[in-house]
Chains A and B, each alone.
Chain A
Amino acid sequence: MNPDSFLLILSGAATTLDIAARSIVCSLVIAVVVGTATALGGSLVRFLLTVYVELFRGTSLVVQLFWMYFVLPQFGIVLSEHTVAVTAISLNYGAYGAVIVRGAIVAIDKSQWEAASSLGLRRLPTLRYVVFPQASVFLIKPLGVLFVQLVKATSLVSLITIPDLTYRAYQLNQLSMQIVPIFGTVLIIYYLMTKLVAGSSSLLDGYLGTWRRPGAVKP
């Protein structure tokens, strides 16, 4: 593989990293907000958010990408490809994450809320200082797995012509027919990216787990 091809692949990797990082942040925000609201909100809020979650979990990410890319302009909403990519991935993975967050919050014993309330804490401070710190222990591992999937899913944005890593690989393949070196390099880059996400999630899990897990002794 010549240096030019390699540079092209690297520029694609930068695009992929950019989209992955933005999507991870956005989907994390969506997951925490929607997950907390479905765990604690009133019945109307719960119903609406459940509709959102089931809608995005029930249809495929590729379909959502294409729908936003081709159909949203019909509603007069014209977004750039980059925005479509980040929005679709974030809404999709935010929906999956919301279920995880909801589960973690529901898993915290009701007595914790009662104890906080008897100490005079309101709902939000209870959430912030009592429930979230305990729930976070249950969150890190499943969210880590989810974000590994997210990084891999960014490859789909190549289908709406964003010049990401996958798109560059496809393009170079058409040009040079050096199939195995090109796709091999790209696979290794993706592998490193997913390992980075998986590794940092297990580091964080180990760090939080040492002192936040129920019954753990602070070192």
Chain B
Amino acid sequence: MSGLDWNSAFALEILPRLLQGTMWTLITTLASFAVAAVLGIVFAVLCDAPRAIARWPARALVDFIRGTPILIQLYLLYFSLPAIGLTLPALLVGILTLSIHYACYMCDTYRAGLSAVPKGQREAAHSLGLRRRQTFFMIVLPQAIRPIIPMLGNYLIFLFKETPLLSAVAIIELLQTAKLIGSETFRYTEPFTLVGLIFLVLSLAASWVLRKLEARYATGRYGRSTSPGTANEGPRAPTRNAQPQA
């Protein structure tokens, strides 16, 4: 085998199947991101819990999960859950693995955001008679999340690029679709090249959107922008008096 062997008709023929795989990749990415974003808050709160008995196991677990490959974690869950009588669909196991792994990364981001909210905010909420839970969800969390949104966006892109490893346990996402096409037709050039292109286009688009969002949040943070292009672009984040260090 030598020389470039590219068949455009074949590429066009398999494109719909690959786009269907892309849809599953996107669904997996978004679902994992949503679960990870919530789980990350739980981990962050546990890691900074006032009681050492909650704090240290949480920190150790987060450190361990971050220090080990996601693929092994995927295998572990995929093979061991049925052994304890819990047979979940492969896609669910994949989403679970990705979200636990990324929650551990987001955990530190949330912790930084949470610790950047001035203590006076909690005290003020307390003096107004708000309970701890109310203070956290209504006062502290909204302020903590805003400066870390760009970071969370980066994790969304990382997560997206991590999804092809789910094909290792035969979850039908984009890469698995390409592998299936390859094994049916013995042609690998077109499917894998198209997969690469689809990833490239989507992640470039995502980072472009993210940069736009970041710019918008930056203008919100430092007051009204004077540049003519961004002067009247709809609602923006309000300026805050107490600035967390983003």
B5-A74 in contact (CB<8A): yes
A75-B164 in contact (CB<8A): no
Of residues 136 through 169 on chain B, the ones whose CB sits less than 8 Å from some CB of chain A are: 161-165, 167-168
B203-A67 in contact (CB<8A): no
Asked whether B199 is an interface residue with its Cβ less than 8 Å from the other chain, the reply is yes
A169-B75 in contact (CB<8A): yes
A166-B200 in contact (CB<8A): no
Of residues 32 through 73 on chain B, the ones whose CB sits less than 8 Å from some CB of chain A are: 64, 67-73
Of residues 173 through 197 on chain B, the ones whose CB sits less than 8 Å from some CB of chain A are: 175, 178-179, 182, 188-189, 192-193, 195-196
Q: How far is the CA of A59 from the CA of B203 in the complex (A)?
A: 7
B75-A170 in contact (CB<8A): yes
Q: How far is the CA of A179 from the CA of B79 in the complex (A)?
A: 7
B80-A180 in contact (CB<8A): yes
Q: Which residues of B contact A75 (CB under 8 A)?
A: 2-4
Q: Which residues of A contact B175 (CB under 8 A)?
A: 60, 62-63, 66
A186-B168 in contact (CB<8A): no
Q: Which residues of B contact A159 (CB under 8 A)?
A: 165, 168
Contact partner of A152 (CB less than 8 A), chosen from B68, B76, B167, B168, is: B68
A186-B72 in contact (CB<8A): yes
Q: How far is the CA of A93 from the CA of B192 in the complex (A)?
A: 20
From A174, which residue of chain B is reached at the shortest CB distance? B79
- State the Cβ distance, B185 to closest chain A Cβ, in Å: 12
A62-B164, A67-B196, A74-B5 given as contacts; is B189 within 8 A of A158 (CB)? no
Q: How far is the CA of A191 from the CA of B3 in the complex (A)?
A: 43
Q: How far is the CA of A60 from the CA of B203 in the complex (A)?
A: 9
B199-A59 in contact (CB<8A): yes
Provide the main secondary structure of the chain B interface.
helix
Asked whether A58 is an interface residue with its Cβ less than 8 Å from the other chain, the reply is yes
Residue total for B at the interface (Cβ-Cβ under 8 A) = 40
- State the Cβ distance, A56 to closest chain B Cβ, in Å: 10
A59-B199, A63-B199, A67-B196 given as contacts; is B68 within 8 A of A190 (CB)? yes
From B206, which residue of chain A is reached at the shortest CB distance? A58
A179-B80 in contact (CB<8A): yes
B67-A71 in contact (CB<8A): no
Asked whether A73 is an interface residue with its Cβ less than 8 Å from the other chain, the reply is yes
A67-B161 in contact (CB<8A): no
B3-A76 in contact (CB<8A): yes
A59-B196, A71-B188, A186-B72 given as contacts; is B161 within 8 A of A148 (CB)? no
Q: How far is the CA of A24 from the CA of B186 in the complex (A)?
A: 34
Of residues 100 through 131 on chain A, the ones whose CB sits less than 8 Å from some CB of chain B are: none
Contact partner of B69 (CB less than 8 A), chosen from A70, A74, A155, is: A155
- State the Cβ distance, A179 to closest chain B Cβ, in Å: 5
A63-B192, A67-B193, A71-B192 given as contacts; is B76 within 8 A of A179 (CB)? yes
From B202, which residue of chain A is reached at the shortest CB distance? A58
Asked whether A61 is an interface residue with its Cβ less than 8 Å from the other chain, the reply is yes
B80-A62 in contact (CB<8A): no
- State the Cβ distance, B208 to closest chain A Cβ, in Å: 11
Per-residue contact bits, chain A 174-191, to B (CB 8 Å; 1 contact, 0 not): 000101100100110011
Asked whether B9 is an interface residue with its Cβ less than 8 Å from the other chain, the reply is no
Q: How far is the CA of A186 from the CA of B71 in the complex (A)?
A: 11
- State the Cβ distance, A202 to closest chain B Cβ, in Å: 14
A71-B193 in contact (CB<8A): yes
Q: Which residues of A contact B188 (CB under 8 A)?
A: 70-71, 74
Knowing that A58-B200, A62-B164, A74-B4 are A-B contacts, what are 20 other residue pairs whose CB atoms are under 8 Å apart, sorted by A's residue number?
A57-B203, A62-B167, A66-B175, A66-B179, A71-B188, A74-B1, A75-B3, A154-B69, A155-B71, A156-B71, A166-B69, A166-B71, A169-B72, A169-B75, A177-B83, A179-B76, A179-B80, A179-B83, A183-B72, A187-B72
**Residues in B lying within 8 Å of A, measured CB to CB:** 1-5, 64, 67-73, 75-76, 79-80, 83, 161-165, 167-168, 175, 178-179, 182, 188-189, 192-193, 195-196, 199-200, 203-204, 207
Q: Which 5 pairs show the lowest CB-CB distances between chains A and B?
A: A76-B2, A70-B188, A155-B69, A62-B164, A60-B161
